[in-house]
Amino acid sequence: MVKRALLALIGLMTFSANAVVILQYHHVSQTTPAATSVTPAQFREQMQFLADDGFKVVSLSQVVEAIKNKQDLPAKTVAITFDDGYRSIATTAHPILKEFGFPYTLFVAIEPIKQKFTEMMTWEELIQLSKEGADIANHSWAHEHLIRRLDNESQIQWLPRIKANILATENAIREATGQNFNMLAYPYGEYNQAVQDMLTENGFVAFGQQSGAAGPYSPLTALPRFPVAGQYADLKSLKAKLYSLNMPVLAQTPSDPELKGGQWRPELKIKLDMSDISAKQLMCYIQGQGAKAPTWLSENEFSIQADLALPAGRSRYNCTAPSKTHNGFYWFSQPWVRPKDDGTWIKE
């Protein structure tokens, strides 16, 4: 009995150390906005590195099943995702991925496809990619801010609308491609607890845009991804992320990213499994405010809080710590999103 328990513990620690890194791309182009783009040369260099350095690139659906079932995945496992369905993925990224034999997932919104936006792929292109191994998944109907209510919309009306939006998008993808993964990438990386609960009730998993490696400690409706674009597009920056580990978070408060009622300096409390982490080496970072050492509340629980009010819009707290036994850093990111002081949202 003791031996079985010990083996199970070792297996869990191994899986945690071999966490999955999920990469998030938008454009693969030299002519699109740098903040959401990698160049074709950068993308090829990154895929070549994955191949040369022995990374195992698997489908996102395989990652989800492994996390759900607490199954081991190979060390150095990576999944590749693209948000929005820009045409450069079909013309530039897809041939490179096909050359390397790498699976990938496209998160698409329906309205831009129906309106035939020039930068977006058509249904015909998406269907062809799905036949060649791409997975097509949910990015909401029109790339909405899911947590925002419409003008004159009550709280009671809001959530059923979001549910209908997500289910209609999933149905449109199923009808066009025959695929049905129940995987949602949050537009803008924005979500709140009510949306998470609704997705769980309807059998969805969901992905944010907060950094970190995914694994057994990740909530299934807030799986992290590493954005690859702009200042984070070079290979040197990416290498450190590819070796990141799933922070062993046992509990956290709050978990809801949506800030309300003027609480613009949220205090985040995190309880960790410290078996492979030294408290002295854990450091946190407040977006826009720099590094800040955590306050340890006990041997395995710390708190972190911004010194200044977070700005309206999206922010993050990031915390990292080197592993005692593995090559790489444990990495955790908590997203926040807040309205302006008057309760309205910034326009994007």
The mean pLDDT values, 10 residues at a time, for the chain of 348 residues are: 38 53 97 96 98 97 94 91 97 98 98 94 97 97 97 95 98 98 98 98 98 95 97 92 95 97 96 97 98 98 98 98 93 97 92
Residue 240's identity, in one-letter code, is: A
Superfamily of structural domain 251-338: Immunoglobulins (2.60.40.10)
| pTM (two decimals) | 0.94
Residue type, 252: Q
Strands 267-272 and 183-185: unpaired
DSSP code, position 6: H
- The helix (H) or strand (E) run that includes residue 107 is strand 105-108
Q: Which CATH topology does 2-245 take?
A: TIM Barrel (3.20.20)
Q: What integer pLDDT is reported at residue 40 of this predicted model?
A: 98
Question: What is residue 18's predicted lDDT score, i.e. its pLDDT?
Answer: 60
Instruction: Report residue 200: phi and psi, to 5°.
Output: -60, -45
**pLDDT value of position 326:** 86
Task: Give the max Cα distance, the chain.
Answer: 62
**What distance in Å separates the CA atoms of residue 311 and residue 327, rounded to the nearest whole number?**
35
- Cα(95)–Cα(236) distance, rounded to whole angstroms? 24
Q: What is the pLDDT of residue 73?
A: 85
All structural domains of the chain with their residue ranges: 2-245, 251-338
